[in-house]
Every structure is written in structure tokens, then in C-alpha cells.
Amino acid sequence: MTEQKNPCCTGSNPGYAELGAYIDALKIDPKDPERKEMLIMTLHKAQSIFGYLPAEVQKFVAKKFSIPHADVSGVISFYNYFTTTPKGKTNISICMGTACYVNGSEKILQDFEKALGIKSGQVTADGRFSIESLRCVGACGLAPVVLINEHVYGKVKQGQAEKIIEEYLIEYGEQVEVQ
């Protein structure tokens, strides 16, 4: 696995204090064999704070739980939701659920990959865009569906990737950040 730059999680990121307080409130007994049951909710919290779960954050959680780093890493690797790579400011998710898939979402994914020059699961060098695939978003009537951050684009056709990204940026893009 390639070493990721950690723009967020080195040094004294205040996120650690928040995550630390969250875990402390769980009152984990290092001798309790069942303590791992609270690991998944903790990782949800961690990902909501840092955006992703780099090795530093994993080790922080492992230490707080008195469990090996390997245990934390194993759980993260099992669940699709957890990610160890940072997401871009603009995260593009292509639905690969059954309805979208049979309507050609694989081609749509390739379109976006080509447009941004990155593969699914990666982020552009400037940190602005990332692409991922996900399972059914519950909007099968609009298949194939693309999500840009929280905004839904339905019935996407091949060759529209660049247009959709532009539309999104004009409507919600950088201005949202400025506000």
C-alpha cells in the first residue's frame, strides 16, 4: 500500500482530542474481552472527524482500546464504508447497485475516471476530486445514479462526466466553500 500524505492527521490535530474524549466516555475496560464491540461505532466517529482512517488514527484508536493495530486495520478493511484514503473536497460516487449496473454504471465510472485521470478509490493530486463506487443509494428509478458529495445526478449517460462536474462546480462548488 502506498504511503498516503496525511494533511489532516499528523501532529496535534484537534480531532484527536475530540476522538479521545469520545472513546474515554465509552469507559473501555482493557481487560474486557468484549471491548471490541464498541470498535465499529468508534471508527464511524473517527471517520466523521478526520474524513478517513489513516494509520495514525488507527493506532490511536488501537491504543485507546488496548488492542493490536492489526485488529483495527482488519475491521476497517472488511467494511466498505471505512476508507483509509482521504476523499477529495468534491467526492464523486458512482452507484454500482444492480439497477445502476445493468444500466451501464460501469461505463459511467470509466468516464469519470478518464475525465479526472484517477481511478476509483483515489484522489487527485491537488486533493480537489475523488472517485469511489458504492452500492445502491435507493434511487433506482433514476439509474444510473451519480452522487457528487450529497447531490444526486440521475439517468446519467455516457460522455456527460465533464459536463456534470462543471454543473456541480457552478451550482454548489467552490462558492459553498467560500460562504
By the rule CB under 8 A, 139 interacts with another protein: no
Q: Pick the binder of another protein from 6, 84, 110, 160 (CB under 8 A).
A: 84
By the rule CB under 8 A, 63 interacts with another protein: yes
H/E element, 154? none
Q: Pick the binder of another protein from 20, 74, 121, 159 (CB under 8 A).
A: 74
Burial class (CB in 10 A: 0-12, 13-18, 19+), 73: middle
CB of 71 to another protein, least distance (A): 6
Which of residues 33 and 141 has its CB atom nearest to another protein in the complex? 33
Q: What is the rounded CA–CA span in Å between residue 129 and residue 150?
A: 14
For residue 151, give the DSSP letter.
E
Burial class (CB in 10 A: 0-12, 13-18, 19+), 99: middle
By the rule CB under 8 A, 58 interacts with another protein: yes
Q: What is the rounded CA–CA span in Å between residue 61 and residue 67?
A: 9
By the rule CB under 8 A, 70 interacts with another protein: yes
By the rule CB under 8 A, 55 interacts with another protein: yes
Q: What is the rounded CA–CA span in Å between residue 98 and residue 19?
A: 36
CB of 141 to another protein, least distance (A): 29
Residues engaged in binding another protein (CB under 8 A): 1, 55, 58-60, 62-63, 67-74, 77-78, 84
